[in-house]
Structure 1
Amino acid sequence: MKKGKELMLTDSMEGFEEKKIDYNSYEVSFRRWLVSQIDSGNMSNQEARERFSLPPWEYKKIIRRWQERYSDEIHLTLRSMSSKERTDQKALEKRIKELEKQLELAQMKNVALNTMIDIAETDYKLEIRKKSGPKQ
Structure 2
Amino acid sequence: MKSVNSYSDDFKRKVASHYLGSDLSMAATAKLYGLKTPSSVQQWVKRFCPDQALPNDGTTKEPAPTVLPDSPEGMLARIRELESDLASEKLKNLAANKMIDIAERDLKINIRKKSGAKQSKK
> TM-score higher than 0.5 here?
no
Q: TM-score, normalised by structure 1?
A: 0.36
Which TM-score applies when normalising by structure 2? 0.40
Structure with greater proportional helix content? 1
